[in-house]
Structure 1
């Protein structure tokens, strides 16, 4: 049994997929069609000369798809001339859980980003 979660009142779920390839690679039109048809994926080339660096257009894509919850996913210098392909998958969920999470079960953890940057994030943790 399947249903459209977005048909539920006060629930929003959005997913997005994208494939970015290095500037020295040409994307075959059939690949573009197939990724769009089977995975609803956007495809494009990485622009090494983009204003703000090659990471900016991809960070903008991620921020747009997550309603600015995730910003600057890629640190400057993450993408260079050796980058062949970058796969992006985003999930945005906004709704009320049937069983709420106990705030006492959260803790601060380190999140390791590409390029070596580390930031502290709140981790939801529960033993079942």
Structure 2
């Protein structure tokens, strides 16, 4: 079975042709109603228009502007500097780095570069 060999198991509904005579069932006003704004050609209402009722975007309260959270402060250190500061097999953690004044308390994280 190939994609181009597949067939529908239903028929597509025939497209309704409007404004093609009174006997067609959709003649005269062509489904647009008798009078008013919607019957005129090229007519449409603006987005958000609710027929004269106060639209939703004016009914809800104004929101305060979005404020992004403060940026993270990352300390950057090279592996070669860690080799100079700590003996081989030594423990490298935040407390040890703070004791050697490599980072301070305001640091959110550490990035080790190669």
* TM superposition score category, shorter chain reference: under 0.3
Q: Would you tell me which structure has more strand in proportion to its own residues?
A: 1
Q: TM-score, normalised by structure 1?
A: 0.22
Q: State which structure, 1 or 2, has the greater radius of gyration over its C-alpha atoms.
A: 2
Structure with greater contact order relative to length (CA < 8 Å, sep ≥ 6): 1
TM-score normalised by structure 2 residue count: 0.24
